[in-house]
Structure 1
Amino acid sequence: MPMPKPGVLFPPEALYGLKAGFDQLANLLALTLGPTGGAIATDFKANREVERFTDAATAARRILEVPGRAQNVGAMLVRNLVWRVHEDVGDGAATAAVLAQALLDEGLRVAVAGANPMIMREGIGRGLKAALQALKEMAVPVTDEEELSGLALAVTGEPRLSLVLGEMFDVLGPEAHIIIEEYMAPYVEREYFEGSHWKAELASPYLVTHPPTRRCIVQNPLVVVYDDFLTEWEEVEPLLRLLDSAEDERDLLIAAKKVAGQALAAFVVNHQAGRLRVAAVQFSSQIDRKRRDLFHDLALQTGATVLGPDMGRPLRTIAWGDMGRAARAEADKEKLVVVAGQGDRAAIQKHLEGLRRRLEQTEDEEERETLRERIARLSGGVAILKVGDASRVGQADLRQKAEKAVKALALAAREGTVPGGGVAFLNCIDAVRSVDAQGDAAVGVRILARALEAPFRRIVQNAGVHASAVVLHEARRRGPAFGYDALRGEVVDMRAAGILDAAGVCRRVLEMGTSAAMMALTIAAIVLHRKPEKSMQP
């Protein structure tokens, strides 16, 4: 059966349908904005159990389609926007939807009156640059743990979790890598590592030196990194003879793709005989590309040389200069922790700069997460955040809040904070209005300036105050530091009240929300692929 030909919607039907779907989802997600925002419930699960969300991105993720083909295009634009914001910065998904909707409202209103959307887009782009510069200039560096905890509380609404997260980022700094673990009990705790944390496995329980924790702990170890399988006695004999010839006894940390067979037996025999304390760890669960990166980082951090057939350096060629050093290493069945590696600090810093440039340039979320982990390891900021609840639903909710806050706090620690509650966007308006533009480009500048009021107005409305214009006027009258405290129901100095947003979150919300609105505004037609009566493929 031939596939039916697609249909095409042209203006004004295309834009009207798209706008209706855009509004449908944006209006729903806007309900969650602010500390007094509402929750969204869905019966998505197969067992018809009701799910409850206060997070806009997760709620949007549950919506797979809305009625009407053109309307669905608009709704999916919003869905894609809020999920990208969630993945990128954790917080700000609802704000992005509200901002994009306001900009699209203003844009369509003037477009219907005759303005050219493509020229308006140019003006919006100029205004965006001015707004981003204003955000950068108003950002204030984070100074203490209390400020970080306040920001975490604004993101999560969980006092205990917020205090712990504030402490963790205060201790570890902006490059902190925080691993979140779940527990089936009401529980929030943290565990710090004064070094780097690697996903690896102790090769044998017979190497354990600390039975209560089932860990192998080595002090001031020599470090050998071998990128291949290590199974034969002949492969490790030269290393053992070299170590036996040393004047002083040293512990050994050896990392390989896999340690087994006669090679592992040799390490176990020497370890249990007390001749050589060995922590033999394997990275067998890592895919090849990631494992090579991990080995490179471990070698750089400890001053070791990566050996292996691919490098033309089998283990039998090892010399003293190929071994790295560290103050301490611990390994168990899940992880390796290396403390105070003795690698060249200048070389590590140069490598870190390259990784940060790659992080800025890539848009692939999996690669971004991998790069963040590598940066954190080499920067020495690693900790485990343990969160739990008595129910599975509560456990998942707490983990989700923690993940959002971790991303937002990392941005705050790097780029500083701005007044929260939509006030940062209000403070960008004068900079946008000062942009020099003519004709329809000037129209684009003006509609962006008006749209920047939307997040503030929505937070006020969600607090049950319908005269948002009055509250806005009073806040502006009292100065740029003032906004609306939705919990107390009054206009306050936002920074003094501890109501803050991460500058980096606001930046990405503004960039991505504006981009989504401009995309919708400049769509001239929608192609609707008709669904065949019967599927020709399974």
Structure 2
Amino acid sequence: MGAQLVRQVCNKTNDLAGDGTTTSAVLVDSIFSEGLKSISQGTNPIDMKRGMDRAVDYVQTSLLKQSRPINGIKDIVRIATISANGDEEIGKMIGQAMEKVGRDGVITAQDGKTMATELEVVEGMKVDRGYVSPYFVTDAKAQKAELEDLYVLVSKKKISIIHSLLPALNHVAQQGRPLLIIADDVESEALTTLIFNKLQGKLKVCCVKAPGFGDTKEGVLEDIAVFTGAKVVGDENTGVELDAKSFDPSILGSVKKVIVTKDDTVLLNGGGDAAVVKERLQLLRDRVEQEPVEYNREKLQERLAKLSGGVAVIKVGGGSEVEVNERKDRVVDALCSTRAAVQEGIVAGGGTALLRASKKLVVRNAVRLPAMKIAANAGKEGAVIVEKVLEAAEESTGYDAQNDKYVNMFEAGIIDPTRVVRVAISDATSVASLMMTAEAAVVELPKEESATAPMGDMGGMGGMGGMGF
């Protein structure tokens, strides 16, 4: 049970912050061990939990005070390199990608076709909604759907009856191409039938619910239609409808590739007319300048950024499928850490930030453990290293285990995303307190074994039979 809880907290930390799984595991172990010591000495478990919650609030506040904003591409490269297990090539490539598409731009990783890892910026658009059902995923490990050379159907209406979709589905099946449906919603019979056909391998399809509300939702659907070259179904201006009797293939748009996760959708190389896209961008720019309401202006700026911004694609190369997959995992981890750093800033790495937060605090000893572990792994006495770091006047001073010296961690490039450290301590404390306040544990029932082994049937001697009864 305990191992499963630790595994869950590591996964949760990774989902929220993109990194910090090892830190979470170390903190859970330490907080739980320290907590049990106090409980065995008579401390009430509930009081212990309350105290731990307050301590975590203090640590979180301390981390935010220590946090610094990312200072240029140099910090981004450092964060990405550390998260990629020291792979400088990956770190530099992510830095280049952010330079080209901006800090808020879309960066994806995919399998390359050569030995080298390459960076390519393509025309792309991001939609802030993911698949309506996980049954549409094509990559179970990454929990995402990837389709290539596909049609796109855009609808302002809900699609609940499969009958109206049949002509479009038949056309797509005849062409042997996948289909992406972006609609107000896809539900009931239509959704069930599409999932069934996808699972049966008869149709490559994915459904995405349109993002936003009201006019913003309609505007986003129109942006998608312009980018893909589709006609919006249910649009009063064009009169385009899904008709079970007749079907016009020209209402379908196209893209070279789509990547759909549970949270968002990335469209690459849309089939829309470049001149029409340019007109749409100018229209959005004009509306941004004319819009008096700040909220509406921000939404228009978001739409403009999504339609005009390119997508950076890191094509991961390697000598084998195993090598490519391992390297791609490192790229994804580095991307997640970099985004976390952009959002909340950075703190001194190597466990130093947690050390600084431990001065006044069962959590005080626990947050010192990551730094002690790093020192111990370098063959040093962890407790001695920790005390020397805490005695340093400069808060950014920490221990550089690789070079065996005390340095300014920011200047040395040994940094962690604030969000990763913050989420790790919060999640670890939550699970450790749950384990401490639990009054029962799930264990395997021990097998009962008899004291002596049973005697087998005695074989016969010479011509005599066995002495069985």
1:143 corresponds, among 46, 49, 71, to: 71
Partner of 2:397: 482
How many residue pairs get matched? 355
Equivalent position SS for 2:410? coil
Q: C-alpha separation between the residues in 2 aligned to 1:122 and 1:98?
A: 21
Partner of 1:470: 384
Q: C-alpha separation between the residues in 2 aligned to 1:523 and 1:376?
A: 49
1:448-469 deviation line (CA, Å, top 9, x unaligned): 112110110011111121x112
Pair 423,258 (structure 1): closer, same or farther in 2 beyond 3 Å: farther
Q: Which runs of 5+ in 2 are unaligned?
A: 128-145, 159-166, 182-203, 243-252, 259-267, 289-294, 448-469
1:179 lines up with 2:103 in the alignment:
no
1:101 lines up with 2:29 in the alignment:
yes
Q: What is the one-letter code of the residue matched to 1:419?
A: A
Pair 464,527 (structure 1): closer, same or farther in 2 beyond 3 Å: closer
Q: C-alpha separation between the residues in 2 aligned to 1:203 and 1:452?
A: 50
Q: C-alpha separation between the residues in 2 aligned to 1:130 and 1:495?
A: 23
Residue 259 of structure 1 deviates from its aligned partner by 8.7
Pair 450,527 (structure 1): closer, same or farther in 2 beyond 3 Å: closer
1:299 lines up with 2:221 in the alignment:
yes
Q: C-alpha separation between the residues in 1 aligned to 2:113 and 2:232?
A: 43
Partner of 2:327: 398
1:192 lines up with 2:117 in the alignment:
no
Q: Is the 8 A contact 2:28 2:429 kept in 1?
A: yes
2:83 corresponds, among 131, 134, 155, to: 155
Pair 469,528 (structure 1): closer, same or farther in 2 beyond 3 Å: closer
Residue 415 of structure 1 deviates from its aligned partner by 0.8
Partner of 2:8: 80
Q: Is the 8 A contact 1:226 1:315 kept in 2?
A: no
Partner of 1:407: 336
Pairing of 1:492-507 with structure 2 (within 5 A): 492-507=407-422
1:308 lines up with 2:268 in the alignment:
no
1:112 lines up with 2:112 in the alignment:
no
Q: What is the one-letter code of the residue matched to 1:308?
A: V
Pair 314,126 (structure 1): closer, same or farther in 2 beyond 3 Å: same
Partner of 2:298: 349
Pair 287,418 (structure 1): closer, same or farther in 2 beyond 3 Å: same
Equivalent position SS for 2:43? coil
2:356 corresponds, among 424, 427, 430, to: 427
Equivalent position SS for 2:71? coil
Q: Is the 8 A contact 1:184 1:390 kept in 2?
A: no
Q: C-alpha separation between the residues in 2 aligned to 1:389 and 1:316?
A: 47
Partner of 1:508: 423
Q: C-alpha separation between the residues in 2 aligned to 1:197 and 1:448?
A: 41
Q: C-alpha separation between the residues in 2 aligned to 1:475 and 1:526?
A: 39
Pair 398,452 (structure 1): closer, same or farther in 2 beyond 3 Å: same
Pair 170,504 (structure 1): closer, same or farther in 2 beyond 3 Å: farther
Q: What is the one-letter code of the residue matched to 2:358?
A: I
Q: In terms of mean alpha carbon deviation, does 333-342 or 117-126 score higher? A: 333-342
Q: C-alpha separation between the residues in 2 aligned to 1:105 and 1:315?
A: 65
2:57 corresponds, among 116, 124, 129, to: 129
Partner of 2:132: none
1:259-293 deviation line (CA, Å, top 9, x unaligned): 9869x99xxxxxxxxxxxxxxx96255544x1544
Partner of 2:256: 332
Pairing of 1:359-374 with structure 2 (within 5 A): none
Residue 429 of structure 1 deviates from its aligned partner by 1.9
Partner of 2:316: 387
Q: What is the one-letter code of the residue matched to 1:315?
A: V
1:283 corresponds, among 176, 180, 201, to: 180
Q: C-alpha separation between the residues in 1 aligned to 2:257 and 2:8?
A: 39
Q: C-alpha separation between the residues in 1 aligned to 2:441 and 2:300?
A: 47
1:344-372 deviation line (CA, Å, top 9, x unaligned): 5564734899xxxxxxxxxxxxxxxxxxx
Q: C-alpha separation between the residues in 1 aligned to 2:443 and 2:257?
A: 53
1:491 lines up with 2:415 in the alignment:
no
Q: Is the 8 A contact 1:179 1:384 kept in 2?
A: yes
1:89 corresponds, among 17, 37, 54, to: 17
Q: C-alpha separation between the residues in 1 aligned to 2:348 and 2:26?
A: 18
RMSD over aligned CA atoms reads 4.1
Residue 516 of structure 1 deviates from its aligned partner by 1.3
Pair 379,474 (structure 1): closer, same or farther in 2 beyond 3 Å: farther
Q: What percentage of aligned pairs have identical amino acids?
A: 25
Residue 226 of structure 1 deviates from its aligned partner by 4.5
Pair 200,468 (structure 1): closer, same or farther in 2 beyond 3 Å: closer
1:375-410 deviation line (CA, Å, top 9, x unaligned): 994683632111111122221110111111111100
Q: C-alpha separation between the residues in 2 aligned to 1:404 and 1:459?
A: 20
Q: Is the 8 A contact 1:376 1:382 kept in 2?
A: no
User: If the length of structure 1 is used for normalisation, what is the TM-score?
Assistant: 0.57
Residue 307 of structure 1 deviates from its aligned partner by 4.0
Residue 186 of structure 1 deviates from its aligned partner by 2.8
Q: Is the 8 A contact 1:174 1:414 kept in 2?
A: no
Q: C-alpha separation between the residues in 1 aligned to 2:48 and 2:336?
A: 33
Q: C-alpha separation between the residues in 1 aligned to 2:67 and 2:234?
A: 51
Q: C-alpha separation between the residues in 2 aligned to 1:203 and 1:386?
A: 20
Pair 307,175 (structure 1): closer, same or farther in 2 beyond 3 Å: same
1:31-54 deviation line (CA, Å, top 9, x unaligned): xxxxxxxxxxxxxxxxxxxxxxxx
Equivalent position SS for 1:178? strand
Q: What is the one-letter code of the residue matched to 1:161?
A: I
